[in-house]
Amino acid sequence: MNDVREAFGRLLEEPGPPPATAVQLLGAAHRAQARRRRAFGVAGAALAVLAVVGAGWLIPTERTPPPTATATATATATATATATASPFSGRPLSEPAARLVAQRMEKALSKVLPAGVIPIGEASEWGGDGSSPPNGITTVGAFTDLFVGPRHGPLKGGQFLAYLLAGTETGDGDLCALAPDRRLMNGTEIGCEVLAIRGSKVRVGRMREAVAPTRVASGYVEFHYAARYVDGWMIIVWELPYTNEPLDNPVGEGAVPMLDQPVFSPRGWRN
């Protein structure tokens, strides 16, 4: 269709702003990679010590029974569910499979977002290699960029990071109920606490992550996380401050959280 091609060609005659140079693009890519590493570094800390029975994957609609009573039952149910419901079997995930799971995670996560939080599109960035490291944990991660605020007003950016973990051991949906040496990496977790969210008590972990450890500036961000069983998987949700600034920009202690309250709904979460 030469006429269409010619029309496109005419359109491109319109002068545009100077394009970014390759060096500028490389710099932007480095900053994006640093942000991703920082986020996945946090998740990596969790992976080092968490082991959760893997299987199944849809978020249950009803509340899960207390962990102490269901650990054995979960393991049994998991073994059955693995063959049918889970896309994971400990084998490395292909890229399409990981992306598919990330998209499903995002849909599931979007259901627990409070009013006023707007996820961007469907295309969350996905990460993690879906492989089984030596500790037997299979991981799939997904990022979702979020904006918070009124739909027609100024929006505040944020990033929502979630991980699915699956391994060969039984685990507990409540990270804070685990022994300290089985929880998160030393130095990053600074304790557990119970938050009252809309009248419901929710137990969450609190983490501190060093950022921008450069000669110029360094600092910490603190944030909450929560974990939940999803039919044998554990889904861990973080709320991370979001910034497009280079990592060498100063980040002050106790950065302002994205939300006034944790992003997750108390519904369905273990107390």
List interacting residues with other proteins (CB under 8 A).
1, 3-5, 7-8, 10-14, 16-17, 19-20, 22-23, 25-26, 28-29, 32-33, 36, 95, 118, 120-123, 125, 147, 151-152, 155
Strand partners, 196: 201
Scanning 85-218, the segments in alpha helix (DSSP H) are 95-110
Q: Smallest gap, in angstroms, from Cβ of residue 32 to other proteins?
A: 5
Q: Are 74 and 166 in contact (CB under 8 A)?
A: no
Taking the complex as a whole, how short is the minimal distance between the CB of residue 36 and other proteins, in angstroms? 7
Q: How far is CA 135 from the centre of its chain?
A: 20
Query: What is the closest distance, in whole angstroms, from the C-beta atom of residue 21 to other proteins in the complex?
Result: 8
Query: Which CB sits closer to other proteins, 40 or 264?
Result: 40
Residue 34 or 75: the one with the smaller Cβ distance to other proteins is: 34
Q: Are 126 and 142 in contact (CB under 8 A)?
A: yes
* 204: its two tokens: 């969450």
Q: How far apart are CB 251 and other proteins at their closest, in Å?
A: 21
* Residue placing its CB nearer to other proteins in the complex, 5 or 215: 5
Virtual torsion, Cα 82, 98, 145, 43, nearest 10 deg: 70
Q: Which is nearer to other proteins, 52 or 142 (CB)?
A: 142
CB of 119 to other proteins, least distance (A): 9
d(CA 181, CA 108): 30
- Kindly tell me which of 3 and 181 has the beta carbon lying closer to other proteins: 3
Which strand (E) or helix (H) includes residue 14? Answer: none
